[in-house]
Amino acid sequence: MDVIVLDAHPVEDVRIARHITYLSDRGVNVCRIHYNYTDESAKPGIFSRNNVRGFRINHLPLRGKARTLSFMGYCLRPKILAGCRRALEALDIDPGRPSVLHVHDPLLLPLAAMLVRNGMRNSRVVYDRHEVYEEWLHFGRISIPVFYEDRAKRWISGTVVVSERHLDAVGKLFPGARVIAVPNYAASAAYDPDAIDAKIRRVEPGAQMHAVYIGSLNNLADRDVDLLLEIADAAIRSFENVTFFVGGTSLDNDSRVKLDDLAGKHNGRFRFLGYVPWEKTVELTEKAHVGFLLVRPDAKYWVKTSPNKIFEYLACGTVPIVRADVDHAEQLKDCSLLFDRSDENEVIIKAVLDLLGNPEDLARHMRAARELSAAYTWESVACRYIELYTAVLDGKC
């Protein structure tokens, strides 16, 4: 069995990295065709990542939204098929062999359908649906991802969702596909248990405390960057032993100015890191005592989700501080600070300061997070991918 991963995510996307690493480690012949329309420094052609061969196809005309629109159009034109065939040839993939075309982006579903219709008749399409795209409304009433899904729906044999709660709804959207859930749980093997346990043991009055957030910093999308910075400012002013580490991309201009101002104001105790590689993200999260996931209460895209970040915090014994609608909230409540969209910023800030000001309670939350992480491991659910591939190639869907 060949598995050909098609994606247009950042090359270090955590879910995709876990996916292809798992397949490679189990002897599956997996390769990745990566469409890049954001990173101008990335070189086209053959590359290797996570010990998996890949081929990058750059689409970098114009700039900003015009480039995004250009890529959206490119994904519907025959030209994309010709480029993908060249990539398959460079990767020594025999188009006649039974294979799985595993698509991680809705924009690439029409390409997968073209491939099956034009020379890869023994292949089957599996779609990894990372988001609740029917709630991603553009211009107030249409979902662009759903438009691409509809163009290729009849060619999709299997669909993967990130939450068990999405199974029924997605089953109705893709009635011809077998639907499974592979949640965004953390890969426990990626973290150092000795370092994490030692961090928890060292929590005491006056000990250094780290807070972390690595992710999207776009205040104009759904992340509440303003609240994150309010919390950071209040915590650093209240406690001499607290340092904040914030990293990520997708900044709007206003957020960039505020981040730089706060970094200058607090003389090394608020560190804005910009883009952070995955290995550094793991290191920072292992050392952190609290970690954040804050969604703006007025965000249009407020749906129940299963974010990578929550489970990474649990694996590291890092207390999740969350304002979002997340899976497993009942289980998370004893080791996290959970807030709804109706909670005022002042209430959230006070709760964080109370936790940081009580080392005994903080250590209890950290131990509980670490213990809970054993129930949510990537290793326990990743096998569902291969089970799905076997079913769709055998025609059992």
74: left (phi > 0), else alpha (psi -120 to 50), else beta?
alpha
Give the tens place of pLDDT for each residue, 34-47: 999 999 999 999 99
Give the tens place of pLDDT for each residue, 61-86: 999 899 999 999 999 999 999 999 99
Confidence of residue 244 (pLDDT cuts 50, 70, 90): very high
The predicted pLDDT at position 365 comes to: 99
Give the tens place of pLDDT for each residue, 290-323: 999 999 999 888 888 889 999 999 999 999 999 9
Mean pLDDT score of the chain, rounded to an integer? 95
**Based on the domain organization, do 168 and 58 belong to the same domain?**
yes
Using alpha carbons, select from 334, 130, 353 the residue that is nearest to residue 233. 353
Give the tens place of pLDDT for each residue, 373-389: 999 999 999 999 999 99
Q: What is the mean pLDDT of residues 133-160?
A: 90
What range does the domain containing 42 cover? Answer: 2-182+381-393
**Based on the domain organization, do 216 and 135 belong to the same domain?**
no
**Based on the domain organization, do 172 and 236 belong to the same domain?**
no
Confidence of residue 136 (pLDDT cuts 50, 70, 90): confident
For residue 140, pLDDT over 70 is answered with: no
Give the tens place of pLDDT for each residue, 354-369: 999 999 999 999 999 9
Distance CA 22, CA 292 (A): 27
**What is the percent of the chain where pLDDT is above 70?**
99
**Based on the domain organization, do 259 and 359 belong to the same domain?**
yes
Confidence of residue 390 (pLDDT cuts 50, 70, 90): very high
The predicted pLDDT at position 122 comes to: 96
Q: What is the mean pLDDT of residues 120-125?
A: 97
| Number of domain units in the chain | 2
Confidence of residue 109 (pLDDT cuts 50, 70, 90): very high
Q: What is the mean pLDDT of residues 136-151?
A: 86
CATH number assigned to the domain comprising residue 107: 3.40.50.2000
Using alpha carbons, select from 391, 379, 324, 396 the residue that is nearest to residue 26. 379
The predicted pLDDT at position 139 comes to: 65
For residue 397, pLDDT over 70 is answered with: no
**Based on the domain organization, do 19 and 82 belong to the same domain?**
yes
**Based on the domain organization, do 153 and 214 belong to the same domain?**
no
DSSP 186-251: B-GGGS-HHHHHHHHHT--TT--EEEEEES---TTTTB-HHHHHHHHHHHHHH-TTEEEEEE-S--
Cα distances (angstroms) measured from residue 21 to each of 16, 18, 77, 160, 282: 8, 5, 31, 17, 16
Give the tens place of pLDDT for each residue, 266-293: 999 999 999 999 999 999 999 999 999 9
**What is the percent of the chain where pLDDT is above 90?**
90
Q: What does DSSP say about strands 52-58 and 29-36: parallel, antiparallel, or unpaired?
A: parallel
**Based on the domain organization, do 263 and 115 belong to the same domain?**
no
Q: Are 323 and 223 in contact (CB under 8 A)?
A: no
Q: Are 107 and 68 in contact (CB under 8 A)?
A: no
Phi, psi of 6 (to 5 degrees): -110, 125
Token pair listed for 269: 């105790």
**Based on the domain organization, do 134 and 157 belong to the same domain?**
yes
Which value, to the nearest 10 degrees, does the dihedral of the CA atoms of residues 177, 115, 57, 82 take? Answer: -160
The predicted pLDDT at position 396 comes to: 64
Q: What is the mean pLDDT of residues 240-265?
A: 92
**Based on the domain organization, do 167 and 238 belong to the same domain?**
no
Give the tens place of pLDDT for each residue, 162-188: 999 999 999 999 999 999 999 999 999
**Based on the domain organization, do 149 and 17 belong to the same domain?**
yes
Q: What is the mean pLDDT of residues 123-149?
A: 89
Q: Are 293 and 320 in contact (CB under 8 A)?
A: yes
**Based on the domain organization, do 164 and 235 belong to the same domain?**
no
Confidence of residue 249 (pLDDT cuts 50, 70, 90): confident
**Based on the domain organization, do 242 and 345 belong to the same domain?**
yes
